[in-house]
């Protein structure tokens, strides 16, 4: 766990990371204040048989097409369509 200090209450290393899509944000567990953006994770499947697998590592073109048409939204869909074009 990285040493991160809350600028509001001063607590250090007492935080949680909330993931929304591909964005990771850091929030203080003590006072509930936003601390900082952690950065963006590589797009990965969030459901299905490849859950947790990076989209860039998937070689199942049929699954990528299905996922892109039926499940993926926004940035994930963009990553899926990019990977389909690469294959």
- 31-68 tens-digit pLDDT: 999 999 887 778 889 888 999 899 999 999 999 999 99
Q: List the strands of the sheet with 34-40, edge to edge.
A: 15-20, 23-28, 34-40
Residue 52: φ, ψ to 5°: 90, -15
In the chain, where the domains are located: 1-41, 42-87
> pTM score, two decimals?
0.56
Band (pLDDT 50/70/90 cuts) for residue 75 is confident
């Amino acid at each position: 766990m990285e040493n991160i200090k809350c600028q509001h209450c001063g607590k250090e290393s007492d935080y949680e990371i909330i993931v929304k899509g591909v964005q990771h944000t850091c929030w203080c567990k003590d006072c509930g204040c936003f601390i900082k953006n952690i950065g963006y994770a590589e797009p990965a499947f969030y459901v299905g048989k490849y859950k947790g697998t990076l989209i860039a590592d998937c070689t199942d073109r049929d699954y990528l097409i299905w996922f892109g048409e039926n499940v993926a939204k926004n940035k994930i869909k963009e990553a899926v369509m990019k990977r389909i074009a690469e294959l």
